[in-house]
Amino acid sequence: MQFTHNTLPLPIRQQSVESLNLHLAASIDLQGQVKQAHWNVRGPGFIAVHELFDRVAEEIEGFSDLLAERIGGLGGTAFGTIQVAASRSFLIPYPHDIDSTERHLFAVASSLAAFGQSARAAIDTVGASGDADSADLFTEISRGVDQQIWLVESNLAPKSNIN
């Protein structure tokens, strides 16, 4: 950890940096997964979904920046290389055998949901440790992920309400 005038106690900052770095790795992985879908989507509605995936990837890149900047603000080191992301991401690998727009939409929505669920859990974890600002950051990310899920799922045929 680097010296900082941040007044949070070191143990709290260290715990937050660990959680933030975990989500930084996953956000980099998630952005790569969405770009994979962007590059390989085919079929009806191609251009709309292709452009949607590009916008979703840009939003996720913004989440990565927020996470990395918070890590730096706490005196930590952001581990944001592709190699680190690949080894630390908690997301399941993106399937490479997808052959339809609907399956790409489903896979992207599933990865977004897994990331969002983990961000919501991090809200409680870092908040309980005493880092309300990192909890707020995870809240912002969670809200943003939920919006991206809505945009992606809006391109899928409606299904009956299961919940």
Inform me whether the pLDDT recorded for 157 exceeds 90. no
Closest of 65, 79, 77 to residue 31, by C-alpha: 65
- State the CB neighbour count (10 A cutoff) for residue 159: 7
What number of other Cβ atoms are within 10 A of residue 127's Cβ? 17
- Enumerate residues 6+ apart whose C-beta is below 8 A from 15: 125, 126, 129, 131
Q: Give the residue ranges of DSSP H helices in the chain.
A: 10-40, 46-73, 82-88, 101-129, 132-153
Is domain 10-153 classified as CATH 3.40.640.10?
no
- What percent of the chain shows pLDDT beyond 70? 98
Task: Single out the residue of 109, 82, 104 nearest to residue 26, CA to CA.
Answer: 82
**pTM, two decimal places:** 0.94
In whole numbers, what is the pLDDT of the chain averaged over residues?
95
pLDDT above 80: residue 162: no
